[in-house]
Structure 1
Amino acid sequence: MKATQMFGAFVAATTLFSAEVLASEVLPSSGDAFTAYSEVENWTIYSDATTGTCLAERADGEGNVLQMGLTKDHGYGYIGVFTTADVKIKSKQDVSIAIDGSVFTGESHGIKSKKLVGDYKGGYILANNPDFIKAIEEGHELVAFPQKTGAFVVDLSGTKRAIEETRKCNMETSG
């Protein structure tokens, strides 16, 4: 599968568990004060002094960016995926994601990144479902759109350590 198809399918899966939170409340603002906190495996952990939160970020070999963090009110976790590829992103749609065989459903919201340099677009998966968060943390692979053609696999290597380090950063940043 082409990287653009893979990314397009994942981007469509961007706001699980239908939290009534606007994308602008989830996204780091372009004016936020980010500082590199640490590096864990292939992840860089950033502290955002403006919001008092942290996020973990890594880029894959295709130049796509994956982010994980907390919303400003710490009420939801999120996973964000962004690309510069020419993909069409719907502002809202229902989605399914499977992590090691467990299927999670919700609603997606497409957005344009305010933090990343360049013309990145994508979206966030919001979650306050502890089962989803545990699945991301302990899972080996994520399959976007498991019941549709165009499904693809995302390697979750290193997410457990990245989440642990992001939690540590959040404790230090907000405490």
Structure 2
Amino acid sequence: MRSFVTLIAATSLALSSAIAAYAQNPVPSASDVLVKYGDVEHWTVYKNQTRGDCVIVGDFGPGSVQMGLTANQEVGYLGVFSKEDIGLKNGTKSEVFVSIGGHLYGGVATSTHGELKGGYSGGYILSDNPEFKRAVAKKYEMIVFPETKGTFVVDLKGTYKAMAMGKKCMKH
């Protein structure tokens, strides 16, 4: 547990500059118009016709993961959401973490408990870290909300192909 807390502190500090620079919520809102662009493995790529960007979505048990780029396309995001009660309170700043290949990645997001379509709660991680992008694309599993009661595991099979499709989607 002590190493988990140490990793949380280090990760939060490392990501604070990326988060401060890109404060607008990149996650599609319930009112955005999403049109299916294509499927890869168990991921679906959508063109967001409201914002003009694309989002990669995968559902896993009680959870859902979304990936995409922020408005200026320099920073990516990974949204992690669950139908389970993960202890978030509306409008508060919450730390959101995922573990990939033994490395902890995290960010701070304004919680959205009960406000997302389908009753999901969660937040997102902003990152311009190429190691994080590589880990999502190349590793085999991701543990979302590690060491919380809302933990779920995401099979990362197909993320490399889904990210390539997302990139194509952004060009159309």
Where on the TM-score scale, by shorter chain, does this alignment land: which range? 0.7 to 0.9
Using structure 1 for the length normalisation, give the TM-score: 0.72
TM-score, normalised to structure 2, is 0.73
Using the aligned pairs only, state the percent identity.
Answer: 36
8 Å CA contact retained: 1:113, 1:122:
no
Q: Say yes or no: does 1:111 pair with 2:112.
A: yes
Q: Which amino acid aligns with 1:86?
A: D
User: How do residues 37-116 of structure 1 correspond to structure 2 at under 5 angstroms?
Assistant: 37-60=37-60, 62-89=61-88, 91-94=92-95, 97-112=98-113
Q: Superposition pairs for residues 1-175 of structure 1, below 5 Å?
A: 17-18=15-16, 19-20=19-20, 21-22=22-23, 24-60=24-60, 62-89=61-88, 91-94=92-95, 97-112=98-113, 117-144=117-144, 153-172=153-172
Contact kept, 8 Å, 2:107 with 2:126, in 1: the verdict is: no
| RMSD, aligned CA | 3.0
Partner of 1:10: none
1:170 deviation in Å?
Answer: 0.8
Secondary structure at 1:125's aligned position in 2?
strand
Q: Are residues 37 and 112 of structure 1, via their aligned partners in 2, closer, same or farther at CA, if it must alter by over 3 Å?
A: farther
Q: Distance in 1 between matches of 2:124 and 2:75?
A: 11
Unaligned runs of 5+ in 2: 1-10
Q: Deviations over 1:111-153 (max 9, x none)?
A: 2476x5322211111111111111111111224576x587764
Per-residue deviation, residues 75-122 of structure 1 (Å, max 9, x unmatched): 3211112222233125334565432133435434422476x5322211
Residue type of the alignment partner of 1:27: V
